[in-house]
Amino acid sequence: MIPYGRQDVTQADIDAVTAVLRSDFLTQGPQVPRFEASVAGYCGVRHALAVNSATSALHIACLALGLGTGDWLWTTPITFVATANCARYCGAEVDFIDIDPRTFNISVDALRLKLESAAVAGRLPKIVIPVHMAGQSCDMRAIYKLAQRFGFRVIEDASHAIGGRYLDEPVGSCRYSDITVFSFHPVKIITTAEGGVALTNDAKLAQRMALLRSHGITRDPVEMKQIPDGGWYYEQIDLGFNYRMTELQAALGLSQMERLDKYVARRHALARRYDYMLANLPVQVPYRADYAYSAFHLYVIRIGGAGGADRNKLFDFLRHRGIGVNIHYIPVHTQPYYAKLGERVGYHTASFPQASAYYTEAISLPLYATLSDKEQDEVAGALRKALA
């Protein structure tokens, strides 16, 4: 089976992780700060907080921005469920904005319209989470302008997008957002097995997220409420979690960072080959926005539409031939958990027609840095046979 995505682990990665196993620290040692400095330096952002998953990063990001009961968080339905779940962990309500049918990112026009009516109804969101679908940045400058006009905060879910760029700056610079989150799950661009990071230029948000990832405990006398009892003293000043990344994960991530640009370049080369090989098939290949350089986490094509091929049949045909295609994503608002909330909040299955249409037509083809030209030819050949 050719999977839709997979990690690349080299001997250098294995050596880096093995060295940590032989060292004094398996957790809370020097590797995590080094990994954080590496990611922050790459992105040109002041603070990086490494955690055990992007899901955890989203959770502490929402808490740091003060999301709580009675607040609203808006995001796109075309994302992984974790993007919405972080709001529910905080007791907040979730609502969705339809997508742009070309980029599959949140539609800025739909966002503006919904904000205008929410302002009238007194139901504006506290946080909006744009997701850089497939690795291509949303139009962050436009979203940031809306944030200033309507007074919401912005978390970029850039789980797909490390190594990507927006308006000639790295995704993760937080130039147009409060916090940006990356995921290092093995299918993403680089991996730490499980892992994630939250990035920000705001020292207060960074301090708050650092506290929340480690039980709400501080060892900094400046932050303490009481006089330290002695050298052993620490204080729990808030309710936090154990969301820490291990030294093993950070060493793996640090080693992977060295190949990040190479990985993204290879993904682009493969994407161009797909474009070329699919050129005369009835499929819509990924649209490239002029403001973005995608990290190309996914190569999503759309088929069908009126009179077009049947996506579900295509999926089965390719899977039976060992081509690990996948669907990204089942619209979150149709998941039973969110459908039930929608009855109260006011959205329903048909509320986001672009997302629904996308879901019936989209299919992700295998794309990862170590996918060979030969394997890719096999994918394109099977696709050609299916659509002939």
Q: What is the DSSP string of 87-143?
A: HHHTT-EEEE-PBPTTT-SBPHHHHHHHHHHHHHHT---SEEE-B-GGGPPP-HHHH
Inter-residue contact 387 to 130 (CB < 8 Å): no
- C-alpha to C-alpha distances, 20 to 8, 26, 29, 138, 183, nearest whole angstrom: 19, 7, 10, 37, 22
Least distance (Å) between residue 65 CB and ligand PLP: 17
Q: Which is nearer to ligand PLP, 80 or 317 (CB)?
A: 80
CB 33 within 8 A of CB 173: no
Interface region with ligand PLP, contact rule CB under 6 A, candidates 51-59, 100-108, 207-215, 274-282: 51-59
- What phi and psi, each to the nearest 5 degrees, are found at residue 332? -60, -35
Residue 79 within binding range of ligand PLP, rule CB under 6 A: yes
Q: Which residues, numbered 304-363, are part of the site for ligand PLP (CB under 6 A)?
A: none
CB contact at 8 A, 352 and 75: no
Q: Which residue has the tokens 């990086």?
A: 48
- Contact string 113-132 vs ligand PLP (x = CB under 6 A): ------------------x-
Could you give the 3-state DSSP secondary structure of residue 348? coil
Minimum CB separation from ligand PLP for residue 297, in Å? Answer: 8
Task: Show the site string, 141-180: x = touches ligand PLP by CB under 6 A, - = not.
Answer: ----------------x-xx--------------------
Torsion-angle region of 169 (φ positive above 0: left; ψ -120 to 50: alpha; else: beta): beta
Distance CA 310, CA 70 (A): 42
Q: Is there binding between residue 105 and ligand PLP (CB under 6 A)?
A: no
If binding means CB under 6 A, how many residues of this protein chain bind ligand PLP? 14
By CB under 6 A, residue 97 contacts ligand PLP: no
Candidates 130, 196, 286, 331: give the one binding ligand PLP (CB under 6 A). Answer: 196
Q: Rg for the chain (alpha carbons), in Å?
A: 21
The residue range among 76-84, 102-110, 120-128, 261-269 that interacts with ligand PLP, by the rule CB under 6 A, is 76-84
Report the residue from 185, 213, 259, 302 that binds ligand PLP according to the rule CB under 6 A: 185
Nearer to ligand PLP, 13 or 194 (CB): 194
Q: Which residues bind ligand PLP (CB under 6 A)?
A: 53-55, 79-80, 82-83, 131, 157, 159-160, 183, 185, 196
